[in-house]
Structure 1
Amino acid sequence: MNENAAKAFGELVAIVDRLMGENGCPWDRVQTRESLKPYLVEETYEALEALDQNDPEKIKDELGDLLYQILFHAKISELQKEFDIKDVVHNIAEKMVRRHPHVFKEGALHTPDQVVDQWEQIKKTEKASRDHQSVLDGVPLHLPGLKRAQKLQKKAAKHGFDWDRIDEVFAKLDEEIAEFKEAVRDGNAAHVESELGDILFVLANVARFKKLDAEEALRQTNNKFVKRFHHIEEQVEKQGKTLKDTPLEEMERYWQESKKKS
């Protein structure tokens, strides 16, 4: 099985080499790290959508697209004489062995929480040898906002900057909502945006307290909204009307119908 996987991987690497080579594809050859960023994000979210649908064929297809993006970036780095895909693979292999000493070396861990604690401690030791100046360093700037908020909060909490009880977080949420309402009444757009950000940040903290993924929760709600809105569109079409011709009260009725079905 490993030999087959290595062979298949090698064939894909060869395809990337061909496309990026001298007589390769004109589009592929002019791509840069910057130009490929949107595709990497897009392919990641398409993979997440396939996972949500739990469709093996779609998951297989989207994981392939995501893998190709990784090979694409590695090839660009190889052409710039920085590193190649072998370096990428060796690097992650070494990291996985280093961060799983209970499997590859000595010791025994029996719970997922023990593994996470050890992982974080090893990461901390690794980072101590680099130029990290803050305990918050290492949280990627380009993460989705809610996910980045939770990671920042988690890092700060590990160093004592945290509430003791969730009721204290709720009190902070009430405070931020009151400030947001005041900003809305004042009509200062920049102030409103700032206060809205504060509310979202505290909500991410509520999710962290309950060991929930705020980004995933919002993603599921987005999908739920789309599904229910599709029901409204279907019902409006059955009536031979358009959304603009349909009173809000009627659309709300269809919305409630959809809620009962899901």
Structure 2
Amino acid sequence: MDAIAVVLASLLALGSPVGVVVDKLAADAIRDQLVAAEALQVRVDNASTLQLLNGRLERVRIAGQGLYPVADFRINRFALESDPIDVSIGALRRGEIALDRPLQAAMHLELREADLNQFLQSAWLQQQLQALEFALPGQTAREANRYEFTNPRLALLPDNRLQLALDLQDTVSADTLPIELEVGVAIASGHQLQLLDPVLTVDGQVVPAQVLRSLLGGMQSRLSLRQLEDSGIGMRVLQFAIQDNSLDIVMFVKVEPSSPWLME
């Protein structure tokens, strides 16, 4: 939703642009917030210049391909279409974002397997993995530092399943232990991520189902988009599909005027 705020701030700073000028200014403003964009189009629909100057947009449509919101993370396709938007014009001119009514939009994301694996191999994610501590039973904290997770990789499989693999490496002996998790993924009631029929193998040996259930049991309740509601963000997944080595997600997003995310 920051993209829409950037659009409004840029247009208001330049007075009252109209037509294709509005669309170009909006696209340039969003492009400046990205690391890179292979293709980006923005369409701003407005009934009048007066409405724009009063902080109202009838609709914003954004379509992009090959977008990099951060380094090494590529979104293959992105589309967003908003409902009418009302913001506080005074707050916006002070560099703040304040909504006069909730902001609502439909969003479509397509993520490719190759792009996700590029991110998994990024320097930033490698640092996060190395910061994780893994201790075998009976080991001291000092001994735990000798193990680290390396070489993460992802495979998108048919029937909405995916496989996540990585290696547990002993930094002293250089021995590695391959770990693979294959699991089905579904969205229940538009917000609850479900892990279906998981299979975990460690060094080629299947972990017993009862052990795996105990490992994943406490995770399910935390995998809900409803946790964002306390921050004034409502998200509902309308479509979730893995097909042709891509992850396709369509969702509805609602941002309340009271959301602290608007202050960041």
TM-score (norm 2): 0.23
TM-score, normalised to structure 1's length? 0.23
Q: Which has the larger radius of gyration?
A: 1
Which has the larger share of helix? 1
Higher strand fraction (1 or 2): 2
